[in-house]
Amino acid sequence: MIFTVRLGEGMRAKSAAIFVDGNPEVSGARTGCRFEETTGVRTMFEQVHDYLGQLIPERPMVLREMEQYANEKSFPIVGPLVGRFLYQIVLMTKARRILELGSGFGYSAFWFSLAAGSKGHITLTDRDKSNKALAFDYFKRAGLQSQFVFKVGDALKLARRIDGPFDIVLNDIDKQQYPDSLDLAASKLKRGGLFITDNLIWSGKVCDKKRDDTTNAIIEFTEKLYQDTRFFTTIMPIRDGISISVRL
């Protein structure tokens, strides 16, 4: 199965082919994907995201502070491109009950709250107690009006004890736990609810020939997600790859 991508003159590559080994009727992820003129493809990806990043309107001051903190501490957040997507999803679906599996210091919850306002009820989970204090400080200074519950511990274990249904479940836990999140999300979402998962491109490592356990867990999860008849899934190459799955 070969997909040819035509690049512009400025991309230093006239064309690039993505080849998926194996049976064309299966995803091919287990046998890997092979890039020709990889440098051109990745340069295009990076340049497009840089371009989009420059176009994003200014964020509220507290959000910009959170982005600066993440940059200084090398703390992974979904970033403004995905943040705006989360905001838009809430506006489109009128989501009110949101569960986050892995919240960090509250960056994605901030975007959800901006859209949901006082009608939003957002449950955050994270292993680090210090992130809870940090998140609530940001929320308070920004004057966010949603109801927030922040539970500290293993996200999957905590979520099993939380009553659903939820309109949205955001999945950003430790990547090796990704395959275990599917059944949980299905059980916690309402019909028509959305299961959103970050980092499915994993900086392109999903296409490496030699993959570590974390990358293999992401690939396993992605394959299962596409095949799971409880969901209808689309993966979008925004930032590090984000999936949106509708609970059927």
Question: In the block, which residue shows the tokens 């959000």?
Answer: 63
Give the C-alpha distances (Å, rounded to integers) separating 182 from 86, 137, 170, 188, 224: 20, 32, 11, 10, 8
User: Do 161 and 81 belong together in one domain?
Assistant: yes
User: Do 128 and 36 belong together in one domain?
Assistant: no
CA distance 34 to 208: 8
User: Do 39 and 160 belong together in one domain?
Assistant: no
User: Do 146 and 239 belong together in one domain?
Assistant: yes
User: Do 81 and 33 belong together in one domain?
Assistant: no
pLDDT value at residue 49: 87
User: Do 184 and 81 belong together in one domain?
Assistant: yes
CA atoms within 13 A on the CB side of 226: 12
User: Do 14 and 36 belong together in one domain?
Assistant: yes
pLDDT value at residue 33: 63
pLDDT value at residue 30: 52
What angle is formed at CA 234 by the lines to CA 157 and CA 242, rounded to 5 degrees? Answer: 55
Q: Which residues pair with 19 in a beta bridge?
A: 2, 34
CATH of the domain at 187: 3.40.50.150
Q: Of 33, 54, 75, which marks where a domain is finished?
A: 54
**Count of CB atoms situated within 10 Å of the CB of 14:** 11
User: Do 10 and 79 belong together in one domain?
Assistant: no
Q: Whole domain around residue 193: which residue ranges?
A: 61-247
pLDDT value at residue 238: 92
User: Do 103 and 173 belong together in one domain?
Assistant: yes
The separation between the first and the last C-alpha atoms of the chain, rounded to the nearest angstrom, is 29
26-50 pLDDT per residue, tens: 344 454 565 444 455 556 888 888 8
pLDDT value at residue 38: 47
Q: Are strands 189-198 and 242-247 parallel, antiparallel or unpaired?
A: antiparallel
User: Do 50 and 66 belong together in one domain?
Assistant: no
**Count of CB atoms situated within 10 Å of the CB of 108:** 24
Structure tokens given for 60: 């509220």
User: Where is 91: in which H helix or E strand?
Assistant: helix 79-93
User: Do 30 and 101 belong together in one domain?
Assistant: no
pLDDT value at residue 45: 80
Question: In the block, which residue shows the tokens 């892995």?
Answer: 102
Number of domains into which the chain is organized? 2
- What pTM did the predictor assign? 0.85
User: Do 144 and 226 belong together in one domain?
Assistant: yes
What angle is formed at CA 218 by the lines to CA 217 and CA 224, rounded to 5 degrees? Answer: 90
CA distance 28 to 23: 7
pLDDT block averages, 10 residues each, the chain of length 248: 35 33 39 50 77 94 98 97 98 98 98 98 97 98 98 98 98 98 98 98 91 97 98 96 98
